[in-house]
Copies of this chain bind each other. A is one copy, B any other.
């Protein structure tokens, strides 16, 4: 740690082929309109946005969300939301690559409609196959350190553990696991799913995550633009907090004003 550190350009995030100065990745799901997406991107300063490939419609280039994102010069991270098996996810990823001309893909392989939890077995299969096919694979996973290790070993570009189910706003249900993942995985770790508010995002970064993805927390907030700005600041605050070396937790008090008189008058 640089003792003179204050946030600066040197703290950029290298993730796959990209270098990002914002550690907040936006999701577009749940947004009521294109305008809201644009506003939240601008308000947050995010440089990467994930969009479901199934939203791509080749017959409509004008006015599509992809048009919109192109104007804002953000990196698009296509995702396989809605896929239920490895095969489905791989096919969808290929469609996305062709349509959007990018090797990036966030692989989501869902287990069931109620929880939208990732299916660990199909996820591992899809990751292995997509890496073989030359994708930069961002793997949306549960919070299991053992599965995260597998995904990293299979060549994932980034491991993206959930804090809690998609859209639940429950925050980080198992900080112990997220911290273990962040400590033990070499590739970037992005906290994905479950963020409900700013403190959740700051906490994720303090646990050692390299970035945070937020979708519903922003797009479904009462004032999305303002929440986008809030969560963006919280990610930066959490990153700085992590780098600044927090005080240890103590069971009892420690006087902040000592009794020994006047230490620095």
Binding site for B on A (CB under 8 A): 1, 3-7, 27-31, 33-34, 43, 52, 54-57, 60, 63-65, 79, 81-82, 111-121, 124, 142-147, 149-150, 164-170, 173-174, 176-177, 180, 196-200, 202-203, 206, 215-217, 219-227, 229-231, 233-234, 236-238, 240-241, 243-259, 261-265
Residue of B nearest to A202 (CB): B199
Copies of this chain, count: 4
CA of A1 to CA of B222 in the docked complex: distance in angstroms? Answer: 9
Task: State whether A54 touches B253 (Cβ < 8 A).
Answer: no
Inter-subunit contact A169/B248 (CB<8 Å): yes
Residue contact B111 to A250, C-beta cutoff 8 Å: no
Contact of B227 with A169 in the complex, beta carbons under 8 Å: no
Closest 6 pairs between A and B when the two form their complex, measured CB to CB = A222-B245, A29-B256, A167-B254, A230-B240, A198-B241, A111-B146
Residues in chain B near residue A169, CB distance under 8 A = 246-250
Contact call A234/B231, Cβ cutoff below 8 A: no
- 25 sample A-B contacts, Cβ–Cβ < 8 Å, listed by A number: A55-B262, A55-B264, A57-B262, A81-B255, A81-B256, A112-B146, A115-B252, A120-B146, A120-B150, A121-B121, A142-B146, A165-B250, A166-B256, A167-B250, A168-B254, A169-B246, A173-B176, A196-B249, A216-B256, A217-B247, A219-B256, A222-B244, A223-B243, A230-B237, A231-B237
Query: In the complex, which residue of chain B has the Cβ closest to the Cβ of A109?
Result: B146
- Known A225-B6, A230-B244, A233-B236: A176·B198 in contact at CB below 8 Å: no
Taking a contact as CB atoms closer than 8 A, the residue among B4, B168, B237 that contacts A233 in the complex is B237
Q: A226: which of B5, B115, B220, B249 is its contact (CB, 8 Å)?
A: B5
